[in-house]
């Protein structure tokens, strides 16, 4: 790992970064990559479970629970502050009924 | 292959990510016309059903939800083999519209498999909630596949989807969808595909097989090994892998995966705005995963499950019990009136009906328990529960997902063991199965209550609690010990998706509960019924003896066991016989003692007090807790582990452990001066 990269397992809630490499083998690597944790993907550490392990991260729009030890094999380039644009604030639908729940699709 | 008419019923397979709403769609298409079986040779649920619409029929198969089609897990292999080798007429790919990128990763793999695809773009209601705009025609064009927006939970879009599915039947299979993996890999794929023989490919496209070989897919590699005479192919493969490694600096498998995700992301971004997780999920998780509220909430939920289960099912259980009694005596009278010998009458009225009664009486709590668990699964809380349990489970050598089977074991060990199917590692699964009988199931409670009332009335709650606690501690210790011995096989990784919280759909939950309950009744019921009849026969033979006689076969067996039980303080033939019956179903211990002492429920406590001491009673309770799992559990262990060996191991260790502990309690207690 380069001097600036850190293992995902060591990042704290609120930190985010871009995945550089997955440094493990076999089924774990397959599983991590199948869930979308590939080089170039942005990850955000949302929180940790009460006992400190596992941690909850966000990647590609979904939330994953991950053991710190296993997350340790993911090398990440941390981003200071905000890496990408702030989440889009979409207009609240207000009282308009959801077309899919109430017909009229 | 073009089918000339709809003579043969088309097969529709449903594939997609877990949590994408596959089950809701399957239920919407098949309703009550579904059944659950096992995929041949494995303990994975196979859900099949029949779709009937406007006079057209189709067989629908709900494939296991998967994130990919590698050979990492058996679910993936089953799904992929079904699509490739069974060649269903249509594959409906259920995609979560709020999570396009990751769902499309599976879609592109389906397209590479030349699956005859129709996409159900599901959860459109949630997409609308999030303000997501999706260019459906654009998506359809990008994939070359019909895309039907649906909200399966609300039954929206189902008709259009079924139309599209039937329209797909009979059309040519693949559309030649190809991902460009870059010049190096493409060159190697072409070279490998040239050498591949139709015999090896078995109908799968050479390009697909070649790609899998480069991915070093373990199942395909195994095929390669067992095919024989593939040295040319093997050396070409080795050369290809080395060349790719040199050129790209990483394994071919990684490159291929990355390219797939690149395409999935590109398509997703081109047709939809950026997804976000619903706010409600974040808010709820602030509590569900809160630093100090999370565990109290967790245990609260578990407590609530059992409270609700037993409270709501009590009236049903009582009703079932009364009904059986009524029917039993009516049948008994009828048969006696017809002049049949007592033996036959007894066999039918007491034996068979008694067995049926035993099963029916604990069916209500089991169904309720399944219902509660189903609700929690649909809501999405189970994933959080697994997350919270992982740390504790790992301390004893298990996996976070092992917690639910353990908890279910408190209701019934059979359901706990069936629930281990969610565990991916064979080793984790085996250990969880083997220690499950130590979780004190609901059937043991009447035994505890009886003896605790007889001897410890003011402290009986404490006594009962101590037994539950003992069971838990033994299970944890046993798991730890087993995990030290059973090192083979790797422990599963823990990468768990936390789906957004969703309101469960009652009809889906009820269908699932019914299916699971039916399976349970069938398994447990047949075993228990057989056992009851056998033991009934043993207790009424030789003719002239009866259940309350020490000279019946059961009585004699009890007398044989008595000396073994003496060091534990209860060396009577009645105790031996009761424990024997307890092997059928633990709650039978109480009923048996009542029969053997010739008392009803009322006189039983007096009989207990006359034949036991407080110390020997506690020893007896420890024995009841630990010794042998009930026959239904034994049968389930055999079925789920696929071997008689592990069932035998469980029987042996629990018998031994139960006896040893009971002896320690009794002898140790006597040394310490207790009676």
- Which three-class secondary structure state does DSSP give residue B381? helix
User: Alpha carbon of B414 to those of B378, B445, B511, B590: distances in Å?
Assistant: 22, 16, 20, 21
pLDDT of residue A57: 93
Within a domain: A35: yes
Residue A56 pLDDT class (50, 70, 90 cuts): very high
Whether residues B277 and A70 touch (CB distance < 8 A) is answered with: no
Whether residue B105 is predicted with pLDDT greater than 90 in this model: the reply is yes
Contacts of B101 in chain A (CB under 8 A): 36, 60-61
Residues of B within 8 A of A51 (CB-CB) are 391-392
Residue from A23, A24, A33 to probe the interface with B (highest B Cβ count within 10 Å): A33
Cβ-contact B301, B380 below 8 angstroms:
no
pLDDT value at residue A95:
59
Closest CA–CA distance from residue A25 to any residue of chain B (Å): 11
**Interface contact A70-B493, CB threshold 8 A:** yes
Q: Residues 230 to 249 of B: which have CB under 8 A from any A CB? A: none
Average pLDDT over residues B512-531: 79
B358-384 pLDDT per residue, tens? 677 777 878 888 888 889 888 999 899
Residue A99 resides in a domain: no
Number of domains in chain A: 1
Of A85, A91, A43, nearest in space to A64 by CA: A43
Q: Let me know if residue A42 belongs to a domain.
A: yes
* Nearest residue in B to A92, CA atom: B131
For residue B151, the chain A residue with the least C-alpha distance is A100
Q: Is B160 on the interface with A (CB under 8 A)?
A: no
- Where residue B197 falls (left for φ over 0; alpha for ψ -120 to 50; beta otherwise) is beta
> In this complex, do B496 and A34 lie within 8 Å of one another by their Cβ atoms?
no
Does pLDDT of B268 surpass 90? yes
Helix (H, G, I), strand (E, B) or coil at B6: coil
* Backbone torsion region of residue B271, taken as left when φ is above 0, otherwise alpha when ψ lies between -120 and 50, otherwise beta: alpha
Question: Could you say which of A36, A62, A70 has the minimum Cβ distance to residue B261?
Answer: A36
Write out the two tokens for B670.
Answer: 């006597």
Query: pLDDT at position B92, please?
Result: 96
Highest mean pLDDT among B286-300, B328-342, B594-608: B286-300
* Rounded alpha-carbon distances, angstroms, from residue B110 to A17, B14, B238: 31, 11, 26
* Cis upstream peptide for A54 (omega within 30°): yes
* Domains of chain B: residue spans and CATH: 11-168 (3.40.50.300), 183-271 (1.10.287.1770)
| Closest in B105, B156, B492 to A105, CB measured | B156
Cα separation, B593 vs B498, in Å, equals: 49
The number of C-alpha atoms within 13 Å of B290 and in the hemisphere containing its C-beta is 12
From chain B, pick out residues whose CB is under 8 angstroms from the CB of A70.
493-495
Contacts of B388 in chain A (CB under 8 A): 49-50
> N- to C-terminal Cα distance for chain A?
52
A88 in reach of chain B (CB within 8 A) = yes
Residue A42 is part of which domain span? 6-79
Q: Is residue A44 part of a domain?
A: yes
CA atoms within 13 A on the CB side of B449: 9
- The stretches of A25-103 forming alpha helices (DSSP H) are 26-34, 68-71
φ, ψ for residue B274 (rounded to 5)? -65, 130
Q: Which residue of B has its CA nearest to A31?
A: B495
The arithmetic mean of pLDDT across residues B103-115, rounded, is 94
**Is pLDDT above 80 for B339?**
no
Q: Residue A25 is part of a domain; what is its CATH number?
A: 2.30.30.90
pTM (2 d.p.):
0.85
SS3 content of chain B, % helix, strand, coil (to 5): 70, 10, 25
Contact B125 A101 (CB under 8 A): yes
A35 and chain B: CB distance < 8 Å anywhere? yes
């Amino acid at each position: 790992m380069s001097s600036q990269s850190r293992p995902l397992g060591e990042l704290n809630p609120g930190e985010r970064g871009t995945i550089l490499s997955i440094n493990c083998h076999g089924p774990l690597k397959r599983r991590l990559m199948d869930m979308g944790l590939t080089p170039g993907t942005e990850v955000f550490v949302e929180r940790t479970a009460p006992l400190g392990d596992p941690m909850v991260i966000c990647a590609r729009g979904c939330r994953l629970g991950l053991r710190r030890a296993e997350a340790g094999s993911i090398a990440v380039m941390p981003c200071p502050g905000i890496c990408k644009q702030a989440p889009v604030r979409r207009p609240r639908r207000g009282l308009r009924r959801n077309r899919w729940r109430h017909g009229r699709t | 292959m073009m089918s000339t008419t709809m003579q043969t019923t088309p097969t529709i397979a449903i594939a997609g990510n877990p949590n994408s709403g596959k089950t809701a769609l399957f239920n919407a298409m098949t309703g009550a016309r579904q059944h659950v079986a096992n995929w041949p040779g494995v303990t994975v649920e196979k859900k099949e059903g029949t779709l009937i619409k406007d006079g057209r029929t189709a067989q629908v198969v709900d494939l296991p939800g998967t994130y990919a089609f590698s050979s990492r897990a058996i679910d993936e292999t089953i799904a992929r083999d079904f699509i490739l080798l069974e060649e269903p007429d249509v594959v409906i790919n259920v995609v979560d519209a709020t999570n396009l990128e990751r769902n499309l990763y599976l879609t592109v793999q389906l397209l590479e498999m030349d699956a005859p695809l129709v996409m159900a773009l599901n959860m459109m209601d949630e997409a609308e909630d999030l303000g997501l705009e999706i260019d459906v025609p654009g998506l359809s064009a990008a994939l070359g596949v019909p895309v039907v927006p649906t909200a399966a939970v609300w039954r929206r879009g189902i008709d259009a989807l079924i139309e599209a599915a039937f329209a797909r039947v009979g059309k040519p299979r693949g559309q030649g969808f190809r991902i460009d993996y870059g010049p190096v890999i493409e060159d190697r794929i072409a070279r490998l595909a040239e050498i591949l023989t139709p015999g090896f490919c078995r109908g799968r496209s050479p390009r697909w097989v070649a790609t899998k070989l480069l991915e070093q897919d373990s199942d395909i590699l195994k095929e390669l090994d067992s095919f024989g005479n593939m040295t040319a192919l093997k050396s070409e493969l080795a050369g290809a892998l080395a060349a790719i490694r040199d050129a790209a600096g990483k394994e071919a498998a990684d490159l291929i995966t990355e390219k797939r995700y690149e395409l999935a992301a590109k398509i997703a971004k081109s047709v939809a705005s950026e997804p976000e997780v619903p706010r409600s999920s974040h808010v709820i998780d602030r509590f569900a995963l809160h630093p100090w509220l999370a565990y109290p909430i967790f245990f609260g939920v578990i407590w609530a499950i059992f409270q609700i289960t037993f409270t709501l099912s009590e009236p049903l259980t009582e009703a079932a019990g009364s009904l059986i009694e009524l029917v039993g005596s009516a049948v008994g009278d009828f048969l006696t009136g017809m002049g049949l010998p007592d033996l036959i009458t007894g066999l039918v009225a007491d034996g068979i009906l008694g067995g049926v009664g035993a099963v029916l009486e604990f069916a209500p709590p089991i169904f309720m328990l399944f219902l509660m668990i189903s609700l929690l699964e649909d809501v999405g809380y189970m994933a959080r529960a697994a997350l919270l349990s992982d740390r504790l489970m790992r301390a004893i050598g298990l996996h976070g997902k092992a917690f639910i089977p353990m908890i279910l074991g408190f209701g019934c060990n059979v359901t706990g063991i069936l629930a281990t199917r969610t565990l991916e590692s064979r080793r984790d699964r085996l250990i969880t199965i083997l220690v499950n009988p130590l979780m004190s199931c609901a059937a043991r409670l009447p035994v505890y209550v009886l003896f605790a009332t007889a001897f410890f009335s003011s402290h009986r709650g404490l006594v009962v609690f101590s037994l539950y606690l003992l069971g838990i501690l033994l299970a944890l210790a046993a798991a730890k010990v087993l995990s030290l011995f059973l090192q083979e096989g790797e422990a599963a990784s823990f990468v768990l998706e936390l789906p957004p919280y969703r309101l469960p759909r009652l009809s889906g939950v009820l269908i699932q509960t019914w299916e699971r309950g039916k399976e349970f009744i069938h398994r447990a019921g047949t075993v228990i019924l057989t056992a009851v009849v056998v033991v009934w026969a043993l207790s009424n033979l030789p003719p002239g003896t009866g259940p309350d006689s020490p000279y019946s076969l059961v009585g004699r067996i009890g007398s044989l066991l008595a000396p073994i039980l003496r060091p534990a303080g209860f060396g009577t033939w009645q105790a031996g016989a009761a424990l024997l019956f307890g092997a059928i179903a633990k709650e039978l211990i109480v009923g048996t003692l009542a029969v053997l002492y010739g008392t009803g429920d009322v006189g039983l406590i007096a009989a207990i007090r006359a034949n036991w001491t407080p110390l020997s009673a506690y020893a007896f309770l420890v024995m009841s807790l630990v010794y042998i799992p009930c026959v239904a559990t034994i049968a389930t262990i055999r079925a789920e582990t696929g071997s008689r060996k592990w069932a035998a191991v469980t029987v042996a260790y629990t018998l031994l452990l139960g006896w040893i502990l009971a002896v320690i309690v009794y002898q140790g207690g006597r040394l310490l001066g207790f009676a």
